[in-house]
Chains A and B, each alone.
Chain A
Amino acid sequence: QSVLTQPPSVSGAPGQRVTISCTGSSSNIGAGYDVHWYQQLPGTAPKLLIYGNSNRPSGVPDRFSGSKSGTSASLAITGLQAEDEADYYCQSYDSSLSGLYVFGTGTKVTVL
């Protein structure tokens, strides 16, 4: 059902920078709808990490940043820390018949 594609996994050593891509289409990201990101720590509910492509809710460290261009978006984590090991999902809105709210396939971030 996912119409937003993410890499299954990314990894990095502590302190490194990792990026996660989120690729959509002309009916969602390319249509001008914003991209949002969620972090799901093991055994917990997802939590909003980035909204409106690049905005951080209060309490989210500034080592997390987001961007959007064309039909894709990216989440970057700089200064990777052990507590960042989690699953990350992008989300947008889709104007086609496939559904209204769409999530990415999810990316597992592993801290080496």
Chain B
Amino acid sequence: EVQLVQSGAEVKKPGESLKISCKGSGYSFTSYWIGWVRQMPGKGLEWMGIIYPGDSDTRYSPSFQGQVTISADKSISTAYLQWSSLKASDTAMYYCVRRFRDLKGSGLWFDPWGQGTLVTVSS
């Protein structure tokens, strides 16, 4: 079974750093892009960025460029999302996703999704 299992909920103070993880299993981890999606409380889904674990090629949404860092360790089939200095506005649920691409190249979707990591930033 293809699975993405994320690290547990975090409670942090503003200014602190954080790194959350997403471990893939049941498939070739280095052959699929892994993305991160933010969902703020009561809000919709926002794509943050994506990484190809095979060579660590990384792309960011302009909205998140410079705000977070995405990385991966292919030796342990794990992708990461990190912050160097958290803000209260980073409070949200974060999902990792595996990206699928069809043969035409016009179909790019996310499946499966991790269970989510809730990050709460509060003083």
A residues with a Cβ closer than 8 A to B are: 1-2, 32-34, 36, 38, 45-48, 51-53, 57, 89, 91, 93, 97-106
Q: DSSP majority for the B interface?
A: strand
Contact A101 B35 (CB under 8 A): yes
If A34-B102, A99-B47 touch, whether A45 touches B115 (CB-CB below 8 Å) is: yes
A46 in complex: contacting residue of B45, B59, B61, CB < 8 Å: B45
A103 in complex: contacting residue of B46, B102, B112, CB < 8 Å: B46
Question: How far, in Å, is A40 (CB) from chain B's closest CB?
Answer: 8
Contact B113 A45 (CB under 8 A): yes
Interface flags for B61-87 (1: CB within 8 Å of A; 0: not) read 111000000000000000000000000
Q: Count the B residues whose beta carbon is within 8 Å of the partner chain — how many?
A: 25
Question: How far, in Å, is A64 (CB) from chain B's closest CB?
Answer: 15
Please, could you name 20 A-B residue pairs with CB atoms under 8 Å apart, sorted by A? Answer: A1-B61, A1-B63, A33-B108, A34-B107, A45-B95, A46-B95, A46-B113, A48-B113, A51-B109, A89-B44, A91-B45, A91-B110, A93-B106, A99-B47, A99-B61, A100-B61, A103-B37, A103-B45, A103-B46, A106-B45
Instruction: Tell me which residues across on chain A come within 8 A of B109, comparing CB atoms.
Output: 34, 36, 48, 51-52, 91
Contact A101 B44 (CB under 8 A): no
Q: CB of B53 within 8 A of chain A?
A: no
Report the Cα distance A99→B37, complex, angstroms: 13
Instruction: Tell me which residues across on chain A come within 8 A of B106, comparing CB atoms.
Output: 32-34, 93
Report the Cα distance A34→B50, complex, angstroms: 19
Report the Cα distance A36→B37, complex, angstroms: 15
Contact A105 B50 (CB under 8 A): no
B47 in complex: contacting residue of A47, A101, A105, A106, CB < 8 Å: A101
Instruction: Tell me which residues across on chain B come within 8 A of A45, comparing CB atoms.
Output: 95, 113-116
